[in-house]
Structure formats: structure tokens, C-alpha cells
Amino acid sequence: MHSFELLSQKFALHFDVRHFPEDPATLYEPNEYFLKLGGKRIRPVLCLMGNELFGEITEDAWHVGTAIELFHNFTLIHDDIMDKAPLRRGMETVHIKYSENTALLAGDVMLVKAYEELNKISLEHLKPILSLFNRTATEVCEGQQMDMDFETMDIVSMDAYLRMIELKTSVALAASLQTGAILGGSGERNQNLLFEFGRKLGIAFQVQDDYLDAFGDPEKFGKQTGGDILANKKTFLLLHALECAKSEDRKELITLLKGNPRDKVEKVLNIYKACKVDEWAMQLKNKYFEEALKHLDDIAVISRRKVPLRELAVFLLKRDY
């Protein structure tokens, strides 16, 4: 069995090659530039881990992992356009460095390349993998649209926000694991348990990310404290505060969301603390974390094969940065 770190190194050696032709350079060089920016590569490595949970890592898993990473980068290029983001990993985004029209086309051909990679896998696995890949890709787009819709909505329910997080983030992690399980010859019950492990883990990770943005140490977290607050971003913390705050605090919170006073972060955090949002968020994170581990425990393989996934889950959700 391999750790996440070792598989990340192996996948980097496999993936960090040229993926596109040289001509026309105006189309393909932007993608090569973007892929060289790197990234955590969590999703493709989860595919490899899901495969290894049930047997030796197959050649098909490397092709599917590559397709997953190419698809993820396609979404990032288009997300940057929608968000008007100037930087990605400290470097100029594709639409800023080249042009918005070029970025759109580059993202499109990145998606085509992902499907080309999927077409390399064995016919035995092609149909179930393609079906899962297409469903997940659709759900990621639905989640992105919901996220954009929320920006113009004054009130968003906790259930709606949770569904958006599932679609935009969690299902991609869960499906990456499930693709590996399919390639490893897993039965349907084990596939579903592994999917639920990934889905719950993704939700717990987002709760923690929301928490750290407000209450984390900025030197460790690498972000400005209260960045989500300044951006009026809908988060688990904000939605819970709007639900549980006392009448006066709720009115003040709504007023703060409509303006941008110099002490906005401090005032919002005071309301959060009065509602004990920080304690609630940690309880919610732990709830999904424990549920994720329960799904992992229920998978019918010997315990030692589950160790790398358990260690990864603990690492992701016990961090303070």
C-alpha cells in the first residue's frame, strides 16, 4: 500500500509531461502554461488510492487519473474567467495572460483532451467509468451555477448551501475514489461506501475551510483572516449565524453584509462568537468526519488496506492551516 504523499509523487512524474501539440501554439501553449502551475492533484491520487484499496494499481487508473486532473484544470480555467480572477497559484490566470477568448477555447480543448484520455481505458471499464465521469462533470457545473446564483440572493438556506458544496466540491472527490474502486473490481456496495466516505470527507473539509477563514491563524492558513466576510461569501458560519443570532445581532449582521466598514471583520466575528458559531462549526465538521470514517470502516476489505485513506482523512481534517 502507498501513502498519499508517495502516490502524489508518482502521479506527478506520470502527469508532468507535455499533453498538447505544438501547433497552433496560440491555442495549446496557454494550457501547457496552466498545467505547469501545478496543484495538489488530490482527485487523481484519490483515484489511484481507490484502485489500490481493492488490488494492484492498474494502467487504466493512470489514464482515468489523468482525465480527472485535466477535467479539473478545465474547470479552473473557466472558473477564473467567471470570477475575474487575476492570479492562480501566484501566477497570471490564462484569460489575463493571453485573452478571455483564448482561455475559453483552451478550457474547451482541455476538456476534449480529458475524454481522449478516458478513451484509452479497457472496454470492460469504459461504460461505467464514462457514466460516472459524465454525471460528476454535470454535477460540478450545477454546483458552480448554484454558487453564482447565491451571490445575488439575500437569503440562502443551509440545505441549499450544503447541496451546492456537495455538487461543486464533494462529489468530485467521491467520484474519483469510486472510479478507482470500479477499476479495482469492487462490488457495488463497496463502491457506494467509498463514494460516501469521499462525499462526507469533502463536506467536513469545506466546513473546516470556512472555519479557518474566520478563526484560523493567517500566518498558518496563508490567507487574510475574514476574507470570506469581506467578500460577503455565503459560508456555513454565516448561514448558521443568520439562523441563530439574536434579533439585534441578526439586524446588525445584515447591515454589515450590505456595507464595507473598516471594522467589518471584527464586528462579524463578535456576532459569530456570541452565537458560538465556532463551536458549532467544529461539531459539524467532526460529525461529517466521523460519518466518513464509519463508511470507510464498513468497506469489506482487510483493515490494513484502508490505512492510507484513514491517514489522509485525519491529515486533512486535523490541520490548523
Q: Kindly report the CATH number assigned to the domain that includes residue 277.
A: 1.10.600.10
* Residues 206 and 134 grouped into a single domain: no
**CA-to-CA distance for 292 and 35, rounded, in angstroms?**
31
* Residues 191 and 124 grouped into a single domain: no
**CA-to-CA distance for 226 and 224, rounded, in angstroms?**
6
Q: In the prediction, which pLDDT does 225 show?
A: 79
Domain boundary at 79, 112, 141, which? 141
* Residues 287 and 210 grouped into a single domain: yes
| Residue 302 lies inside a defined structural domain of this protein | yes
* Residues 192 and 126 grouped into a single domain: no
Mean pLDDT in runs of 10 for the chain (321 residues)? 95 97 98 95 97 97 98 97 91 97 98 98 97 98 95 92 96 98 98 98 95 85 78 94 96 93 95 96 97 98 97 86 56
Q: In the prediction, which pLDDT does 221 show?
A: 59
Q: In the prediction, which pLDDT does 91 show?
A: 95
The total number of structural domains in the chain stands at: 2
Q: Which domain holds residue 26?
A: 1-141
* Residues 106 and 192 grouped into a single domain: no
* Residues 135 and 198 grouped into a single domain: no
In 3D, which of 293, 135, 109 has the Cα closest to residue 201? Answer: 293
| Residue 135 lies inside a defined structural domain of this protein | yes
Q: In the prediction, which pLDDT does 154 show?
A: 85
* Residues 130 and 3 grouped into a single domain: yes
Q: Tell me the DSSP string of 106-172.
A: HHHHHHHHHHHHHTTS-HHHHHHHHHHHHHHHHHHHHHHHHHHHHTT-S---HHHHHHHHIIIIIHH
* Residues 84 and 206 grouped into a single domain: no
Helix (H) or strand (E) holding 295: helix 277-298
Show the cell assigned to 195. Answer: 463514494
| Residue 288 lies inside a defined structural domain of this protein | yes
| Residue 161 lies inside a defined structural domain of this protein | no
Show the cell assigned to 280. Answer: 458549532
| Residue 290 lies inside a defined structural domain of this protein | yes
* Residues 106 and 222 grouped into a single domain: no
pTM, to two decimals: 0.94
For residue 283, how far is the Cα from the chain centroid?
A: 21
* Residues 217 and 132 grouped into a single domain: no
| Residue 150 lies inside a defined structural domain of this protein | no
* Residues 234 and 312 grouped into a single domain: yes
* Residues 234 and 296 grouped into a single domain: yes
| Residue 157 lies inside a defined structural domain of this protein | no
| Residue 263 lies inside a defined structural domain of this protein | yes
Q: In the prediction, which pLDDT does 320 show?
A: 65
Domain boundary at 115, 141, 167, which? 141
